[in-house]
Amino acid sequence: MILLTPEMRERLLANGREPDADHVPVVKFFNPLGEGVWLATELDSDGDTLFGLADLGEPELGSFSLAEMTAVRLPFDMAIERDLLFEGMVPISVWVEAAQQTGSIRAAERMLYAAVRSNARASDALPVTL
């Protein structure tokens, strides 16, 4: 699987040119056989160094290598994958806080998606004014 599409790469590089901004994650990578989830918001101009939230047992904000993730070989000839259905929804600071509260990116994702869905339902119930 291609871990980054050209569009994702461009968004990550653009975000990398604004390192002090609170970006929404562009892509989620995961280990399909166990621990390991990464949310990337930025890509350095070297084309390898990603920045975002990584969870290898404890969520941590920092840098990680695309080349190293690509090189990982798991049992059954599997590898690190990109979550094709991932939607960043909220800035990385919200992800960090949710992951610290829940203990993992996966638990934070369930919590944040539920919150976004409930907010969407609440806004659908509001009367429409013309």
| Residue 60 pLDDT | 97
| Residue 1 pLDDT | 78
| Residue 119 pLDDT | 81
Please tell me whether residue 25 adopts helix, strand or coil conformation.
coil
Is this structure's pTM higher than 0.85?
yes
CA angle 99, 105, 106 (to 5 degrees): 125
Length of the chain: 130
| Residue 112 pLDDT | 95
| Residue 94 pLDDT | 97
- Divide the 130 residues of the chain into consecutive groups of 10 and give the mean pLDDT of each group: 94 96 98 96 97 97 97 94 96 97 96 87 48
